[in-house]
Amino acid sequence: MQPSVKKVTALENYRLSVEFSNGEHGTLDMNPYLDFGVFKRLKEPGAFQQVFVSFDTIEWHCGVDLDPEFVYRKCERTATQPKLTANS
């Protein structure tokens, strides 16, 4: 069973800072997916920053969500949380 997402924060350049239930932290780069299907919605001004934790995964107010296994598998693990931007 994959760890669940406990916290998510939008970073610059369509990246997400993710904290998991097992204490791990990671960065998820969404750039490779933004030209496909529903993910195109995240390129609309302000849409990407409207990210939140829903149940055990990531969702945006525009209706896009991610599979929790995908999130865990694609995150680059970091020893500490990445620095947040001035807009975060």
Task: Select 5-78's CATH number: 3.30.70.20, 3.90.1520.10, 3.40.50.150, 3.30.2020.10.
Answer: 3.30.2020.10
At 72, the amino acid letter reads Y
State pTM to two decimals.
Answer: 0.85
E-strand ranges in the chain read 5-10, 15-20, 25-29, 51-54, 57-60, 76-78
Per-residue pLDDT of the chain (88 residues; tens, 9 = 90+): 789 999 999 999 999 999 999 999 999 999 999 999 999 999 998 999 999 999 999 999 999 999 999 999 999 998 655 555 555 4
